[in-house]
Amino acid sequence: MFAIVRTGGKQYRVAAGDKIAVEKIDGEAGDTVSLGDVLLAGDGGEVKDAKGLTVSAEIIAQTRGEKVIVFKKRRRHNYRRRNGHRQSLTLLRILAVGEAKKAAPKKEAAPKAKAAPATEAKAAAPAKEAAPKKAAAPKKDAAPKAETAEKKPAAKKAAPKKDA
């Protein structure tokens, strides 16, 4: 059985046992990851429904691709720029292409009584009332403005002249 999966903005045709290099995926060597974005699935010559399918893979290694040289030039402008880039890759070994494993149903906690939150709210209310209140900031009156208006602006002193 094969599947077409999308990861890292690219599409890959995979089958059990294949090794592929994809854009970096978090994890360490030996970890198992699930590629859930299955676009198409098939078995032999027939195409199957891809809904609910996942591809499980094992991380072989975290590596980097070959260096790509990026060279920019604008002729007659003395403009040349040279850069290198190495893409981070993850090597994957495809373990299985198949149905998604259904998660075990989560156990629900015992329902809490609705009266309990109300009593907590009532208990918290007196605590808020008992908190000390901050003193109100003094209001600004017209008097300080009058004081600033009475002050004369300080005269600027001229810098002493230097004789050369």
Q: Is residue 132 part of a domain?
A: no
92 or 144, greater pLDDT: 92
Q: What is the DSSP string of 11-53?
A: EEEEETT-EEEEE--S--TT-EEEE--EEEEEETTEEE--TTE
Q: Is the pTM of this model over 0.85?
A: no
Q: Which residues contact 73 (CB under 8 A, 6 or more apart)?
A: 79, 80, 81
Q: Is residue 138 part of a domain?
A: no
Query: Tokens 């010559």 — which residue?
Result: 45
pLDDT in tens, 75-129: 999 999 999 999 999 999 999 998 765 544 445 555 555 555 555 555 555 555 5
Q: Is residue 152 part of a domain?
A: no
Q: Is residue 156 part of a domain?
A: no
Q: Is residue 142 part of a domain?
A: no
Q: Is residue 29 part of a domain?
A: yes
12 or 106, greater pLDDT: 12
10-25 mean pLDDT: 95
What pLDDT was estimated at residue 42? Answer: 92
Alpha-carbon gap, residue 51 to 80, rounded angstroms: 50
SS3 call for 115: helix
Residue-range definition of the domain harbouring residue 62: 2-99
Burial environment of residue 109 by CB neighbours within 10 A (0 to 12, 13 to 18, 19 or more): exposed
Query: Tokens 């399918």 — which residue?
Result: 53
Query: Tokens 């309990």 — which residue?
Result: 116
Q: Is residue 133 part of a domain?
A: no
Q: Is residue 130 part of a domain?
A: no
Total count of domains within the chain: 1
pLDDT in tens, 32-83: 999 989 999 998 888 988 888 999 999 999 999 999 999 999 999 999 999 9
Within 10 Å of residue 86's Cβ, how many Cβ atoms? 11
